[in-house]
Structure 1
Amino acid sequence: MPRPPLSPIGPAPPRRPVGIGRPELREQPPMKPNTHPEYHEITVVMTDGTSFTTRSCYGKPGDTLRLDVDPKSHPAWTGQQRVVLDTGGQIAKFNKRFAGIGSRKKG
């Protein structure tokens, strides 16, 4: 049985993981200096009053982020929907907006 032809480029050379055997790659800082925002600890307060500390670029160190919607209160996570009271309704708004269209008398 004949062997399939090799690609015109030939087989790919074996790859080694980046940084192995190359100390110049291992000694670099993880991020470029002076290009990233300051990353610090803040306190996040959920809608039910519970809070936790996390690291973020938001605000200044020690700031508090108060959430309006979180997984404990949002319908996408709770599976419950809140009824939004629609004053007048969408159909009433449509009829009011377009009341004059089509009522012209030809004469």
Structure 2
Amino acid sequence: MIDGLDELDGDHSELVELLTTFTNCKLLVSSRPLNVFEIAFELVPGRQLRLQNHTRNDIRKFVRDQFVGWTLVGRNSERDRLADSIVEASQGVFLWTSLVI
């Protein structure tokens, strides 16, 4: 299992080369969606697990819970738009969301 392929501080294509040398074994890898990985591993849309799609509702609840009692220019709609933009930008990362809040 390898987490965070996208966090490599270097050439991602070299990492792809290394990973493709492993034969007769199964690898479980994770990364943000970068073209270099999607192309190299021939990822088919709908056959990937996109964590951000599964944590979106939890992050939205977290953000809205943090916003309880906040008033932005006196309108809840602006607060809701801000919350939605934070959820979208978080890409499923709770730590990032917490730091932004």
TM-score by length of 2: 0.26
More helix by share: 2
TM-score by length of 1: 0.25
More strand by share: 1
